[in-house]
Amino acid sequence: NAKINNLKIQNVNITNGMGNNYQRSIQGTAALVGHTSGKVEIDNVKILGDISIVGEYKVGGLIGSSSGESITVSNCSVRGTSGSKIYGTDEMFKDTNNFGGLVGFTATSLTNFLNVISEINVDGFTSGGICGNVTEGVLNIKNAIVYGAVSNSEGSVVGGLIGGKFVPMNLENCYMVGSVTSKDVQYADVFVSKYGDSKEEVIIKECYFNTNKFDSDKINNILNIPGKTENELKNMVPKL
């Protein structure tokens, strides 16, 4: 039930994983909060500079994992310098999952992202530029920009914004300016990975991705998100 606002964190170096006989950490790893519960509001928090956040389970730029009534992340950004990253590999930790530019994993009844920017590279199983995985409730994203490279170098569950499709989603004014790459094309998507429940509805309004960084042979576009060139996107993205 916390409210955190008006905070800047610069230069982050965190490593957390498999410290208990190769058992996953129960909660999560991030620059601001490892785990939230209840009704949580995060507003005007900036993570900047040289950022290295490494873990094996529920790893995010702002928040590792979230449960309970709701989480609202507004007017927040994770913007790293060149070489900054959020990542974890099975080679390092044995069993990795859920990596996000802002939040690694959320299982709240309601998850909201409003006016957010992710400008950092994310790499890991079930990864997304905004959130690695959302497994419960409803997800709303409005006014979001992803500039970083989102990848899954050891598998295929990866999405430009979201890495798992398990809940109804409302996506409005979202821009995937960065790139998506994966070892396997099956669950790799330019916006939302098709991994999960195909019956869940995703409502799209004014969302676009960067065609300059898209290879249809290697990345899916299951939501038929319209593409724009990088120059076109630069003229379209809001100044959040």
In percent, the amount of the chain with pLDDT more than 70 equals: 96
Residue 79 has pLDDT above 80, yes or no: yes
pLDDT (0 to 100) of residue 27:
76
> pLDDT tens across 148-160, in order?
999 999 988 999 9
Residue 17 has pLDDT above 90, yes or no: no
DSSP assignments along the chain, one per residue = --EEEEEEEEEEEEEE---BTTBPPSS-B-SSEEEE-SEEEEEEEEEEEEEEEEESEEEESSEEEEEEEEEEEEEEEEEEPTT-EEE--HHHHSS-EEEESSEEEEEEEEEEEEEEEEESEEESSSEESSEEEE-SSEEEEEEEEE-SEEEETTSS-EESSBS-B-S-EEEEEEEE-SEEEES-STTEESSB-S-B-TTS-EEEES-EEEGGG--TTTSB-TT-PPEE-HHHHHHHS---
pLDDT (0 to 100) of residue 16:
87
pLDDT (0 to 100) of residue 130:
98
> pLDDT tens across 92-146, in order?
888 899 999 999 999 999 999 999 999 999 999 999 999 999 999 999 999 999 9
